[in-house]
Amino acid sequence: MEINKELIQKIAQNARLNLTEEEIKEFLPQLKEILEAFSTLDKLNTAKTKPSFQPIEIKNIYQDDISEPSLPQDIALSNTKHKKNGFFQGPKAL
């Protein structure tokens, strides 16, 4: 797969980033170099290897079904200026 401007723009859109032309121009050769280096992992045969999503095995953690106080509404809203009637306020949905 070729790493080109169109691919970077598509990825940026997925990631909710508006990259400028200068950023794309700067990132393109850097990303090519980095991905080429990362692709050396292909040399390793991992056909029968399980992935390690954690470094130490974690088993299912359970907790008792007991309700506890949650964050008060005013505290939850304390770090935003976009709020109305006790709700977070966002831009238009469509």
Partner 1 sequence: MDFSKDQKHFKMLAKDFIKKVKDKEISVIKNTEKILKEAKNINKEYSYFNFISEEYALKQAQEIEKSIKQNKAQGSLLGLPISVKDCICTQSIPSSSGSKILENYIPPFNATVIQKCLQEGAIIIGKTSQDEFGFGGFSTNSAFEIPKNPFDKTRATGGSSGGSAGFTQATSLPHISIAESTGGSIVNPSSFCGVYGLCPTYGLISRYGLIDYANSLDKIGPMAKNIEDIELMLNTIKGQDPKDSTSLNQELKKSKIKKIAIIKESLGVDKQIKDLILEKLDSLKIKYNLISLPITQRYGIQTYYLIAMSEASTNLAKLAGLTHGSQLHLKGTFNEYFSEVRSKFLGKEAKRRIILGTFARMSGFRNAYYLKAMKVRTLIINEYKKAFKKYDLLVSPTMPILPPKFSEIEKLTPLQNYMMDILTVGPNLAGLPHSNIPAGFINKLPVGILFIADHLCENNLIEIGKKLK
Question: How far is the C-alpha of 10 from the C-alpha of 19, rounded, in Å?
Answer: 11
Query: In this structure, are residues 31 and 8 in contact, taking their beta carbons and an 8 Å threshold?
Result: yes
Interface with partner 1 includes 66 (CB under 8 A)? Answer: no
Interface with partner 1 includes 56 (CB under 8 A)? Answer: yes
Residues 6+ apart with CB under 8 A from 75: none
Binding mask 11-50 for partner 1 (x = CB under 8 A): xx-xxxxxx---x---x--xx-xxx-xxxxxx-x-x--xx
Size of interface with partner 1, in residues (CB under 8 A): 52
**φ and ψ at residue 78, rounded to 5 degrees:** -70, -20
Interface with partner 1 includes 80 (CB under 8 A)? Answer: yes
Residues that bind partner 1 (CB under 8 A): 1, 7-8, 11-12, 14-19, 23, 27, 30-31, 33-35, 37-42, 44, 46, 49-56, 58, 61, 63, 71, 75-76, 78-82, 88-94
